[in-house]
Structure 1
Amino acid sequence: MPSSSFDNSSLCSGGGDKAVVLWDVASGQVVRKFRGHAGKVNTVQFNEEATVILSGSIDSSIRCWDCRSRRPEPVQTLDEARDGISSVKVSDHEILAG
Structure 2
Amino acid sequence: MADKTDWGDAPFTIFLDTSETLAITVSGRDRWALECLIASGEQGCTPIDTPGPRWSGYVHNLRKLGVPIETVTEPHGGPFKGTHARYVLKCRVEPASGSEAA
Could you tell me the TM-score, scaled by structure 1's length? 0.25
Structure index of larger Rg:
2
Q: Which has the higher helix share?
A: 2
Q: Which has the higher strand share?
A: 1
Larger relative contact order (Cα-Cα within 8 Å, sequence gap ≥ 6): 2
